[in-house]
Amino acid sequence: MSTREPVGVVLVSHSAQVAEAVAELARGLAGGGTAVPVAAAGGTEGGGLGTSAELITAAAASVDRGAGVAVLVDLGSAVLTVKALLAEGDELPGATRLVDAPFVEGAVAAVVTSAAGADLDAVEAAAQEAYTYRKV
């Protein structure tokens, strides 16, 4: 077991329910513990479909333990919202990365890899590698 602080993972979806379900799945497949801080940032503040810079910012702050934060997103405007927050420079923790990965498979890979004590580079690489997972 590593003594390194875990990389945090934020899951941004247009739907709060989707973000929460993927977070629950990733936690469960990583052993069900709370060793990896995972936060869902889905939908809008009012509970509708969409993305919210405020929810994303709060989620990133809640999972930041100093080892970095990997942010995975579902669709277009979620990407744009995270990119805008990163461009601001002071809205998200310093070592926050938007990870180009499939949402579900990438989230599972990121959380499992973080749980193993990996650094942000390895968490990002594992999530990106999920693009190569074959299902047939």
The pLDDT of residue 135: 87
For the chain, the 3-state helix, strand and coil shares in percent, each to the nearest 5, are 45, 15, 40
- Burial degree of 128 (CB within 10 A; 0-12, 13-18, 19+): middle
pLDDT single digits (tens) 107-130: 999 999 999 999 999 999 999 999
Residue 83, pLDDT score = 97
pLDDT at 3: 62
Evaluate if residue 1 carries a pLDDT over 60.
Answer: no
Predicted confidence (pLDDT) at residue 6 exceeds the cutoff of 90:
yes
Closest to 126 measured CA to CA, from 9, 1, 34, 5:
9
pLDDT given at position 48 = 94
Position 2 scores a pLDDT of: 52
pLDDT of residue 33: 64
pLDDT digits (tens, 9 = 90+) for 20-78: 999 999 999 988 766 889 999 999 999 999 999 999 999 999 999 999 999 999 999 99
Return the CATH number of 8-132, one of 3.40.50.11610, 3.30.1380.20, 3.40.50.510, 3.10.300.10: 3.40.50.510
CA distance 64 to 94: 9
